[in-house]
Amino acid sequence: MEQVRIGIIGFGNMGTNHARSIARGKVKNGILYGVCDINEEKLEKCEKSYPDIKLYKTHEDMLNDENIDAVIVATPHYDHPSIAIDALNANKHVLIEKPAGVFTKAVREMNEVGNKTDKVFAIMYNQRTNSYYKKVKDLVDSGELGEIRRVNWIITNWYRPQSYYNSGGWRATWAGEGGGVLLNQDPHQLDIWQWICGMPTRVRAFCHYGKMHDIEVEDDVTAYVEYPNGATGVFVTSTSDSPGTNRLEISGDRGKIVVEDNKIVFHRLRVSEREFNDTFTGGFGSPECWKCEIEVKPNPLQEHEAIMTNFVEAILNDKELIAPAVEGIRGLTISNAMHLSSWTDNWVDLPLDEELYYNMLQDKIKNSKFNKVTNEVTLDVDGTF
C-alpha cells in the first residue's frame, strides 16, 4: 500500500474540516475516498464540494466498502465508541475525534477491541503535537523540574456565544452531548494535563450548569485534584470569560514552568528547594532562581493535520502513534470524575465508580426538561483546536 484511502464518518464541523485538509493534500499519502452522514442535506453539500468521492448514508455501508482502508469518526461524542468498534471489526484503521466517548464504561469496551486488533487506532489529541506542550513534557520527564508539587491550569479562552450552542440539536444536552465544556472543549487540556503530570488519585469539582448560557450542561468549572506523591492541582475552565486566559503553571522541587501567550518560562532553582530548606540557616531567604525563556520551534503542520499525517504514516510505515486511542480513557476519567464530584457534592476517588457515573448520567437524561433551541448550521472551525 502506497496511499491510504480514507472515509470520514460525520460531515459536521470537524468532518468538514478534515475532509478539506485531506482533499487539499495536507495529509501526505492520504486520499479522501468517501464521506458518510445520516443527514442528506450534508451529503448534498459534500457532493458539491467533492463530486468525485463516494457518499454513504450509513456508516455500515461505508465499512462494507473494501476500497476504504481507514475511517475518521467525526460524529457526536456518544457514537465514537460504538462506531469505532464496528470499524475495527470491519478491519479498518480508525482515527476517532475527541473525546473518546462520554462515559468510561463504553470507552473501556472500545479499548478492549482496540487492544485485540492489529489495526492502527488513534484519537485526535492534536495538542500533543503542540511544540510548547511537547517541550514541557520533555522538561518534566527528564527531571529538570524535579518532583511535581503543584499544577494550575486556567483555560477560559473557550468563549462560545449562544449561537454556537444553538447550531446543533445535540449540543449542550445530556442526551446529545453528555456534558459541556469538559466534554467538548477541554478533552485536549485534560489529556495534556495527565500526559505531562500523570493521573490524580482523587478529585473535588464544582460545576455550574447553564450559568451563562441557555444550556443544561456545564459552562463553568473549578476543580481541585490530588496526586499520589501529595502534589495538588487546580483546573479552571469556562466558555463565558472574555477575554479568557490559557495559563499552565507547573511547580516542582527545582522550579516552576509557566506556559502562556506562546511562551515557556522556566523559573529554575540553582539548588532544589529541599536542599536549600535543609542547609540554609539564615532564617529569611529563598533559593537562587534563574528566569529562562525556553526557545521552541513550532510544528510546521497544522495540529489536526499533524495527527492525521501521523495516523497515515503509522498505517504505511509503522510510525509510532502520537495519540493512541486507548489513552483517551485517561482524560475522560478525569472529566467523568469532575462531573460525578459535582453531582454528589463530594470527593471522587480514582479509579471512579463507572456504574454510579453511568446511572447518574442516565437519570440526567431521563429527567431532563430542557427545551433545546436549534438553528442547525455547520460552522467553520478554522483557527480552533
Backbone angles phi and psi of 70, in degrees to 5? -150, 155
pLDDT of residue 47: 96
State how far the Cα of 205 lies from the Cα of 342, in Å rounded to an integer: 6
Residue at 84 is within a domain: yes
pLDDT of residue 360: 98
User: pLDDT-based confidence at 372, cuts 50/70/90?
Assistant: confident
For residue range 64-93, list pLDDT tens digits in order: 999 999 999 999 999 999 999 999 999 999
Residues 139 and 88 in one domain: no
- How large is the average pLDDT for residues 2-27? 97
Residue at 194 is within a domain: yes
Residues 107 and 141 in one domain: no
C-alpha cell at 122: 488513534
Residue at 385 is within a domain: no
User: pLDDT-based confidence at 96, cuts 50/70/90?
Assistant: very high
Rounded to 10 degrees, the C-alpha dihedral 337/338/343/344 comes to 60
Residues 257 and 317 in one domain: no
- How large is the average pLDDT for residues 323-329? 98
Is residue 296 scored above 70 in pLDDT?
yes
User: pLDDT-based confidence at 374, cuts 50/70/90?
Assistant: confident
- How large is the average pLDDT for residues 101-117? 98
Is residue 383 scored above 70 in pLDDT?
no
For residue range 22-64, list pLDDT tens digits in order: 999 999 999 999 999 999 999 999 999 999 999 999 999 999 9
Residue at 242 is within a domain: yes
> CB under 8 Å to 70, separation ≥6 — which residues?
4, 5, 6, 7, 92, 93, 94, 95, 120, 311, 312, 315
Residues 211 and 341 in one domain: yes
Residues 228 and 159 in one domain: yes
Residue at 201 is within a domain: yes
Residues 154 and 24 in one domain: no
- How large is the average pLDDT for residues 321-341? 98
State how far the Cα of 138 lies from the Cα of 87, in Å rounded to an integer: 34
pLDDT of residue 364: 98
For residue range 136-150, list pLDDT tens digits in order: 999 999 999 999 999
Residues 88 and 118 in one domain: yes
Residues 119 and 143 in one domain: no
Residues 229 and 261 in one domain: yes
Q: Which CATH number fits the domain that encloses residue 185?
A: 3.30.360.10
Residues 136 and 269 in one domain: yes
Alpha helices, H only, the chain:
13-23, 40-49, 59-63, 79-89, 104-116, 131-141, 162-166, 181-184, 187-197, 273-279, 303-317, 328-344, 354-366
DSSP collapsed to 3 states, 265-309 = EEEEECCCHHHHHHHCCCCCCCCCEEEEEECCCCCCCCHHHHHHH
pTM for this entry: 0.95
Quick one: what percent of the chain has pLDDT higher than 90? 94
Residue at 89 is within a domain: yes
The answer to which of 104-113, 273-282, 373-382 has the lowest mean pLDDT is 373-382
Is residue 210 scored above 90 in pLDDT?
yes
- Structural domain of residue 199, as residue ranges? 128-298+331-366
Is residue 318 scored above 80 in pLDDT?
yes
pLDDT of residue 238: 98
State how far the Cα of 335 lies from the Cα of 359, in Å rounded to an integer: 16
Residues 316 and 342 in one domain: no
Compute the mean pLDDT over every residue in the chain, rounded to the nearest whole number.
96
Number of independent structural domains in the chain: 2
Residues 38 and 185 in one domain: no
Q: Which CATH number fits the domain that encloses residue 105?
A: 3.40.50.720
Is residue 384 scored above 90 in pLDDT?
no
Residue at 95 is within a domain: yes
Residue at 372 is within a domain: no
Is residue 381 scored above 70 in pLDDT?
no
pLDDT of residue 373: 83
Neighbours of 293 (CB within 10 A): 9
